[in-house]
Structure 1
Amino acid sequence: MNMKQVDKYKKEILIPILTICLFGFVRFGSAYGYDSALMEYIKKEKFNLELYELSFCTEEVLKIIESDSTYQNDFIKRINRAFDKRLSESQRYFHTFEYVFFLNQISTIKNYKIIYPKSLLIIENLQPLKRDYTFKNYSFPFQNYIEYPEQVDDACIISLITDLPSTVWSDIERDKLALYRFNAWLEFGFEEFRYYPGTKSKVKSTLNKRIVDYISSKHKNSSMPLIVKALKSINHTVEKYNK
């Protein structure tokens, strides 16, 4: 998750998409389709969702900034704010994972008769990643990223959705505090931040379902104890609220 990977993505995926959009017609759309209520929510919040959450709304995000120039600056500000130099290295480290995931989600868009040349040009011109962030032990940035209770939810979900080496889970398992936080999230935090009565709105339910479906699909064949435990706990919570 570094500058070389982002540059490679731009050269091999994003620029070809831009070229097709500018010089011909292309059919593509996200795997989730388009949800009007979610789009209105994103507009209202001026893109002030977590970057990983925006990654599950790529159809809505692109449609907003393509069709309404008044929101383009809000989007740019949101992305750049994630890499503000006043943030800690651990925060920018996690935001780098999120941003690369966001770009990768865009690259999966297909099968829809929608073209977003303005949106893709804006994204292509963004330069939020200033440097690489590397840590020998994942538990260090994992813990230092967390300043507020809700950031436990963010850190755990980011860890589950992004393409991290398998060693990060052993790093968490070996660190008592990191393991405690992850287990507490599974036992209480996921439900509290994702499914508690205050989160039962249609918009949040739509977003949560996309996140859960992705995590379940990504790790369905995993044999890593923490991930197996996470899937079991997450699915139990989902089933509880879907009754």
Structure 2
Amino acid sequence: MNFGENLQKLRKERGLTQQELADMVGINLPNFSKIERGISAPSFATTQNLIKALMVTPNELMMYPVEDEDSELQRMAKSVSDTDRVIGLRIKKIISKNTKTLKEAVNLFDQPQPSEHLIKQWEYGITRPDEKCLKQLAELSKDFTVEELLLPDDDNVAVNSIKVMNESYLLKRSEIKQSLSSSYIFKALFEKYVDMTTLEDGSYVKAYENILFGLNEVLSSDYYLNSTPRKGKKMFTQVIDNSIDLLQSGATDRKY
């Protein structure tokens, strides 16, 4: 199947005539017909407009092969902002409350309907729905207006991050294969962190953060792939040693 044949298939699946889709992407009917027949190729702007009008991903329109879609989505999701991740989780909740499968989710929307692949991208926060779909999602939720659906959870970055962390756990809960038997440790670490933020002296919070930062770094595979891991280890060891000395001094003097 070539590009033109795929375009025709996507158009017909959405019940659109050539003229209707041509009007939606801003080109005349003869030029659109040439694209569908494979006589000419669409410009970059027209391709972008086709993606929006047909509500598909670039891969679906251009027929790029994707070996593992979920892995690719997870990779792309790593670069999304906290706000987009929260919006994606809200969309996933709304859709899951109203349907059981992605195939059913497509039918929640008016024509032209979004593809299953596009809905997945919304749920991961990679892309956002257009205004029409946002309105329909808000109506389905009964809890959000369109504006509220797109708002960050909280102006406080720390509070927002905590909420995202909880939402991320709930999202991955069914995929967890290992026991989280020591998760109480993370709860204790967090509670101690919050307690330290109430102190007048911010040096202890900074020392605590340095330890957590060092732990986060050495748990990353990128740390071990670094060309100079020994140098990095020495630097982190020094920072953590200094932090522990400060915390020990604070504990001895009962400052926290």
Place the TM-score, normalised by the shorter chain, in its bin.
under 0.3
Tell me the TM-score normalised to structure 1 length.
Answer: 0.21
Q: Which has the higher contact order (CA 8 A, sep 6+)?
A: 1
Tell me the TM-score normalised to structure 2 length.
Answer: 0.20
Computing the radius of gyration over CA atoms, which structure comes out larger, 1 or 2?
Answer: 2
